[in-house]
Amino acid sequence: MEPGTPIRCQMTKWGDRPHWEFEGIHLGSDEHGEWLGFPQGTHNHRPGYEFSSEVDAVTLVPAGGWYAATFHAPGIWCDLYIDITTPGEWDGDVLRAVDLDLDVIRMSPEPPASSRSAPQNLSAGPGETFVDDEDEFAEHQVAYGYPADVVAAAQASCDEVLEAVRAGVAPYDGTARRWLEELSRLTAS
């Protein structure tokens, strides 16, 4: 796929339940996987909730990886939000994956005084990295009947990603800045 190609992301929950949908652009690939760009103002929607992004963001979709890592430009409550998912699959210009509840989140080192998208129930401090929605993951394993191999892969991915983020290894070492700059270049008017 060529840099600048419009793409669409369609995330579901297990059992083909609708979840997040949004549009962006393909930025390119590197040794970590494919990078997608979502400019400030991107409309995100799911059943019962929608919002427009407050800042530019880029998402890494690793080949065969059980996650999608979104790196945000400064100006919101978190600088990194990693959804644990089934491996992303392309159908033309549409990326599909199943969200498996667990999230690895790194709070912004200097969060803004207010952010309309910040969850109200977080008690993490500036720069802190943590796992969110473990309770939801446990509930959905039963309610939606996650297969044992999916549970194991999701938990292993979460543990691995959490360790990598805390250690600051690539791509969690500033690698995303290049892709945020590329997004700005491709969307400059």
Q: What is the rounded average pLDDT of the residues 100-108? A: 96
Chain segment 118-142, per-residue pLDDT in tens: 666 667 788 999 999 999 999 999 9
pLDDT for 110 equals 83
Chain segment 35-78, per-residue pLDDT in tens: 999 999 999 999 999 999 999 999 999 999 999 999 999 999 99
How confident is residue 176, by pLDDT bands cut at 50, 70 and 90?
A: very high
* Domains identified in the chain and CATH numbers: 6-187 (2.40.380.10)
How confident is residue 171, by pLDDT bands cut at 50, 70 and 90?
A: very high
User: Strand, coil or helix: what is 34?
Assistant: strand
Whether the Cβ atoms of residue 137 and residue 157 lie closer than 8 Å to each other = no
Q: How many residues does the chain have?
A: 189
pLDDT for 125 equals 85
| Least confident piece of the model among 77-81, 110-114, 154-158 | 110-114
Q: Is the dihedral of CA 54, 118, 49, 44 positive or negative?
A: positive
Q: What is the rounded average pLDDT of the residues 170-188? A: 96
Rounded Cα distance between 3 and 9, Å, is 16
pLDDT for 55 equals 96
**Distance, CA of 180 to chain centre:** 14
State the average pLDDT for the chain. 94
pLDDT for 143 equals 95
Rounded Cα distance between 94 and 24, Å, is 10
Whether the Cβ atoms of residue 60 and residue 82 lie closer than 8 Å to each other = no
How confident is residue 189, by pLDDT bands cut at 50, 70 and 90?
A: low
How confident is residue 112, by pLDDT bands cut at 50, 70 and 90?
A: confident
Chain segment 5-31, per-residue pLDDT in tens: 999 999 999 999 999 999 999 999 999
